[in-house]
Structure 1
Amino acid sequence: MDTDPVADEINCGSGGGADTLFGLRVASIFIILVGSTAGALFPVLARRSSWLHVPKSMFDFAKYFGSGVIIATAFIHLLDPALEALGSECLAPGWSEYPYALALCLLSIFMIFIVELVAFRWGTAKLAKLGLRHDPHGHNVGSHVSHGPEGELINEQEKTKADVESQSSGNPMYTESAMAQIIGVATLEFGVVLHSVLIGMTLAVDEDFKVLLVVVVFHQTFEGLGVGSRLAFLHLSPTYNWVPLFGAILYGLTTPIGIAAGLGVRTTYNPGSTTASIVSGVMDALSAGILLYTGLVELLAHDFLFNKEMMNASNGKLLYALGSMLLGCGLMALLGRWA
C-alpha cells in the first residue's frame, strides 16, 4: 500500500514531543524565571528605590522600548503563529475556508475597546455625581504620567492643584483612578500571560530546544521590560502599592509554569496536534488583538499624539523616544526569525 509522504511528515495526534536534553529543559525553568522576572521587576524596583538613582532618561527608554516590544510581539510572535496554527494541515478543511485567526484578532480588539468604553462611561458618570470630572486620557495636562488609563481627575468646584491633592487621599475619586489604571495594565498582562504560557509549553517539547531557549530568554526579558516599565509608572495610593510587584512576579512565573506543564505531559503533548493547534491558534489570535489595541491605542497614541509634554518637547527628546520605541520593535521583530 502506498503511503502519503505528507501524512508521514505531519504528526496530528498526541504522540508527544522531543524528550532529549531533559536536564537542560528542567534548568530552563529557572533560567527563564530569573530573566523574565528581572526584566519585569527592575523598572518597578528602580523607580521605588531611594539608593538606586536611575536617570529619568533610562526610565523613558524602558517605557518607549517596551511599547515597541509589545507591538512587535502582537504582530510577529502572536498573529503570525495564530495564522500558522489555524492554517495547519491537521485541521479540518473548514478551517481553511475563512481567516479565523484574523477574525478572532479583530473580535478581541473590539471587545477590549467596548469594555474600556463602557467602563470609562460608567466611571465618569459615577464621578460626576461626586462633583468631579474624569478625563481618562488626560488631554488637559502635559505630564507623561497623566495620560492613558491613569486619566486625570479635576474637582470642578476647587480648581487648584493643592486642593485636588489634599482631597485625593482616601477619596473615592482616587480609588476610581487607581482602578482604571489597574484595569488597563491587567488587560495588557492578560494578553502577555496567555502568550507566555504557550511559549513555555512549546519550549518544553521542541526539537530545536537550544536555539529556542536562547531566543525565549531574550524574548521574555525584553517583554518583561515592557510590562515592568508600565507597572512602574502606575500612580496608586498606598493601598494598591502591591499591584506593580504582583504584576511583575506573575509575569515572571508564567513561562516557567508553562515549561513545567509541558515537561509534565511531554509524552503525550504535541504542539502540532489538531487540538493543540486550535487552542494555541485561538489563544494567540485573541492575545494579538489585546496587545495590538493596548500597544497602538493605550501606549503609542497616548505616549505621543495625546501627550502634550511630548508634542511640545524638543526634537531631540522626540527622536530619543521614537528611537527607543523602534529599537524595541526592531529587536523583538528580529527574534521572530528564530521563534
Structure 2
Amino acid sequence: MSDSDLACGNVDNADTYFGLRVASVFIIWVCGTSGTLFPVLARRSSWLHVPKSLFEFAKYFGSGVIIATAFIHLLDPATYELTSSCLSPAWQEYPYALALCMLSIMSIFILELVAFRWGTSRLQKLGINHDPHGHNVGGHAAHGPEGSPSELTKSVDDIEEQGPNHKMRGHLDDSAAAQIIGIAILEFGVLFHSVLIGLTLAVDDGFKILFVVIIFHQTFEGLGLGSRLAYIRLPPRYNFVPVVASFIYGISTPIGIAVGLGIRSTYNPGSTTASIVSGVLDSLSAGVLIYTGLVELLAHEFLFNKETINSSNGKLAYAIGSMLLGCAIMALLGKWA
C-alpha cells in the first residue's frame, strides 16, 4: 500500500476544545435559525415595522449569497474532493464534479419545464391566461417566475375568502404545491452542504477560526434563504411551510456537528468514501443553486420583472449593489470555509 493510501486511511481527528465543540451545536443552531427565520417572521409582523427597503436589501443580498455559495462553497470543494489523490486514477481522467453539476442544472430545468407546461395547461382549462415568464406581472420571484399562479389574477387571501367551492380552489392547490416543491429544491441545495461543514467543524484541527467563519457563513446563508422564503405567497393554511423550512435549515449544521462528534474516533473526512460522497453531493447541490441563483433569482428579478425594469436608476443600482455585496461577502468567507 502506498504512503498516500495510508494517509487517506488514517484517522487523526483533533479532540481539543471539546466543550466548545459541543456548545457550537447550539450556538450555530441559534444563529442559523435566527438568520433564516427573521425575514419570514418580520414580513408577517405588524409590530416590527421593518422598512420595505430593508426587505428589498435582504432579498437581493440573499440572491448574491446563494450564487456565491454555489460557486465558491460547493462547486470548488466538489472539484477538489473528486480529484483527491485518495481516489483511483479514473477519477482524475474526467471532470466529474462539473459533469454532475451540469446534470443537476439540466435536470432541474427539465423538471421545471414539464411542471410549467402541465400547470399552464391546467390554468388554461380554468380560463386563466398564464405567462410563464412573468412578463405581464410585477410580482416577486421566490423559486419560480414572478408570474406564479398565486399572483395572476388577485391575491391569495382574496380568493381564499370566497369559500372552499370557488373555481380557483384547485388552481390554488396547484400553485401551493408548486411553490412548496420550489422551497424543497432550494433547501436541497443548501442542506447537504450545511451537514457536511458541520461534520468538518466537529473534527477539524483549526476549530476556533473555522467556528467563527461558519457562524457568519450560516447566518448569511440563512438570511439569503429566509429572504426568499419571506416573499413566497401561499394560501393561509400553508403559511407554516416557510417557518418549517427555516427550522430545517437551522438544524442541519448542528446535526452534522453532533454526528461528527459522535463518530470522531472513526470518521476520516479525507478518506476515499468521504471524498466521493461529499464531492457528489456538493456537485449536485451546486447545480441546484446555480440554476436557482442565475435563472430563478437574477433573470426573473432583474430581466423579467416589470417592476424592476421600470424602476429608477437609483433603485436598480441599489438592488444590484445589494446583490453584489451578498455575493462578495459570501465569496470572501470561502477563503476560510
- TM-score by length of structure 1 reads 0.92
Contact residue 16 and residue 269 of structure 1 kept, 8 A: no
Contact residue 14 and residue 269 of structure 1 kept, 8 A: no
Aligned-partner residue type, residue 327 of structure 1: L
Aligned length: 332
Aligned partners of 2:27 and 2:258: how far apart in 1? 13
Aligned partners of 2:156 and 2:211: how far apart in 1? 53
RMSD of the TM alignment (CA)? 2.4
Structure 1 residue 107: deviation in Å? 0.4
Query: 1:211-259: CA deviations, max 9, x gaps?
Result: 1111110000000001101111111111101001001011000000010
Query: 1:275-328: CA deviations, max 9, x gaps?
Result: 000000000000000000000000111110001110110011001000100000
The answer on 1:253 being equivalent to 2:251 is yes
Contact residue 143 and residue 292 of structure 2 kept, 8 A: no
Distance change in 2, residues 1:26/1:164 (3 Å): closer
Aligned-partner residue type, residue 33 of structure 1: W
Which residue of structure 2 aligns with residue 327 of structure 1? Answer: 325
Query: 1:66-110: CA deviations, max 9, x gaps?
Result: 000000000000000001101110000000000000000000000
The answer on 1:243 being equivalent to 2:241 is yes
Which of 210, 222, 225 is matched with 2:223 structurally? 225
- TM-score by length of structure 2 reads 0.93
Structure 1 residue 172: deviation in Å? 1.1
Distance change in 2, residues 1:194/1:185 (3 Å): same
Structure 1 residue 176: deviation in Å? 1.6
The answer on 1:120 being equivalent to 2:116 is yes
Aligned partners of 1:26 and 1:276: how far apart in 2? 22
The answer on 1:82 being equivalent to 2:83 is no
Aligned partners of 2:155 and 2:283: how far apart in 1? 46
Aligned partners of 1:147 and 1:134: how far apart in 2? 17
Structure 1 residue 52: deviation in Å? 0.4
* Secondary structure in 2 matching 1:98: coil
Contact residue 40 and residue 248 of structure 1 kept, 8 A: yes
Aligned partners of 1:266 and 1:54: how far apart in 2? 43
The answer on 1:45 being equivalent to 2:47 is no
Distance change in 2, residues 1:314/1:59 (3 Å): same
User: Structure 1 regions of 5+ residues with no counterpart?
Assistant: none
Aligned-partner residue type, residue 88 of structure 1: S
Contact residue 91 and residue 274 of structure 1 kept, 8 A: yes
The answer on 1:99 being equivalent to 2:101 is no
* Secondary structure in 1 matching 2:7: coil
Distance change in 2, residues 1:67/1:118 (3 Å): same
Aligned-partner residue type, residue 25 of structure 1: R
Which residue of structure 1 aligns with residue 263 of structure 2? Answer: 265
Distance change in 2, residues 1:304/1:26 (3 Å): same
The answer on 1:7 being equivalent to 2:4 is yes
Structure 1 residue 168: deviation in Å? 8.1
Which residue of structure 2 aligns with residue 307 of structure 1? Answer: 305
Aligned-partner residue type, residue 81 of structure 2: A
Aligned partners of 2:281 and 2:150: how far apart in 1? 39
Which residue of structure 2 aligns with residue 294 of structure 1? Answer: 292
Structure 1 residue 177: deviation in Å? 1.7
Which of 25, 28, 31 is matched with 1:32 structurally? 28
Contact residue 73 and residue 333 of structure 1 kept, 8 A: yes
Which residue of structure 1 aligns with residue 279 of structure 2? Answer: 281
Contact residue 100 and residue 280 of structure 2 kept, 8 A: yes
Aligned partners of 1:160 and 1:191: how far apart in 2? 31
Structure 1 residue 163: deviation in Å? 12
Aligned partners of 2:196 and 2:250: how far apart in 1? 14
Contact residue 185 and residue 230 of structure 1 kept, 8 A: no
Contact residue 139 and residue 307 of structure 2 kept, 8 A: yes
Distance change in 2, residues 1:38/1:153 (3 Å): closer
Structure 1 residue 130: deviation in Å? 2.2
Distance change in 2, residues 1:163/1:332 (3 Å): closer
Contact residue 188 and residue 294 of structure 1 kept, 8 A: yes
Identity fraction in percent: 69
